[in-house]
Structure 1
Amino acid sequence: MTDRDTRHQQSMQKLKAHVDDKVANATEERGLLMVFTGNGKGKTTAAWGTVTRALGYGYKVGVIQFIKGLWECGERERLNDDANLEVAIMATGFTWDTQNRESDTKACQEVWQEAKRMLEDPEIYLVVLDEITYMMKYGYLDVAEVIAALENRPAEQTVIITGRNANREVVAMADTVTEMQETRHAFNAGLKARRGIDF
């Protein structure tokens, strides 16, 4: 064995010991609060990936789409027939298209009632609140009410929150926070969003 091979083996042994120690210390079992935020692409896609994973194990999943509900959504189209998936859509489209605070707030409040029901249901293993960060930022939803619903949800339920500019209090209470950072985005160079790739 060369010196390089020996160093590699020693390094991997240290890494394995570190990982094994982390696994041994991870003993708490409960649902998680996860936040996918940042200005990069992929927050909703990552959430749908977790939805697919949960459905793959036969768990019940609820998804609330606060902004992009009127858009085609390839993930939703593919998974819609799964009896364990329930999707509620705000159905007003992008708030910059409607430009009507009153109607957007009303639509948001209506779909939030569905979200609250899901957040109280111990049978629902995963709840995705897609693009809810905008609803709090624009004042369509009361932040304290959202936080209370998150805090009082069933212990085994995991919640994923997506959207840019996640509320600081929500980020502080989250178990996992992933920030998608944009380095380059094709749209900014004039490339049109592609069906099956971007939506």
Structure 2
Amino acid sequence: MSDQNDLDRHAAKMAKKKAARDKIMATKTDQKGLIIVHTGKGKGKSSAAFGMIFRCIAHRMPSAVVQFIKGGMDCGERDLITEHFSDICQFYTMGEGFTWETQDKARDIEMAKAAWEKAKELIRDPENRMVLLDEINIALRYDYLDVQEVVDFLTTEKPPLTHVVLTGRNAKEEIIEIADLVTEMELVKHPFRSGVKAQQGVEF
């Protein structure tokens, strides 16, 4: 009998929770293009952003990716998209690697500015429902781009229904301030600290 009582109490509790949840959901009627930021020292910022890009692809929603830093690195997401989904997702690799790899600040700034020009072009196109600016926060952190210019563009020129995702550590406060959704990846443990190198399928 006690088991049945437990089941009944659980069912009543869940019914009450569902009613409260349904009431909340009924008030959420707005739709808008979001500014989304993935930042923090933990792994998974770009991976999570690409997950959203693949959702867009699955829904046949035109999308685009601009990579600001990782141009010199292998990237499984880039290979998959360019080989199989180039009709629905544009992909531009504009960077040439992290700044300690290029060792050429002027070249890094030039590449970042070119990437930003491409990003603006893609964001302005209302056909693109999501544009991923991969590692743009790194370019902003090193002042390769003017953060106020990026803020002004996103707040005044982004089409109303276009989502823009900005990834990379150390997102500037100005970017966080205008964002609709901010997630900070927290580093708890990482195999790199134990001498394990970046591995295919996990990091790239």
- TM-score, normalised by the number of residues in structure 1: 0.95
Give aligned-pair identity as a percent: 40
Paired residue for 2:148? 144
Structure 2: distance between partners of 1:26 and 1:135: 35
Structure 2: distance between partners of 1:68 and 1:85: 18
Q: What amino acid is the match of 2:180?
A: D
Q: 118-127 or 72-81, which moves further after superposition? A: 72-81
Paired residue for 2:202? 197
Structure 2: distance between partners of 1:170 and 1:11: 41
Paired residue for 2:44? 42
- Asked if the contact 1:119–1:149 (Cα under 8 Å) also holds between the matched residues in 2, the reply is no
Structure 2: distance between partners of 1:18 and 1:130: 38
Paired residue for 2:174? 169
1:98 deviates by 1.6
RMSD over aligned Cα atoms:
1.3
1:21 deviates by 2.0
1:76 deviates by 1.4
Q: 154-163 or 17-26, which moves further after superposition? A: 17-26
1:19 deviates by 2.0
Match of 1:98 among 97, 102, 116: 102
Structure 1: gaps of 5 or more residues: none
Once the two structures are superposed, what CA deviation does each residue of 1:91-130 show, in whole Å capped at 9, x if it has no partner?
3111121222111101111111100101111111100011
1:4 deviates by 2.9
Paired residue for 1:112? 116
- TM-score, normalised by the number of residues in structure 2: 0.92
Structure 2: gaps of 5 or more residues: none
Q: What amino acid is the match of 2:31?
A: E
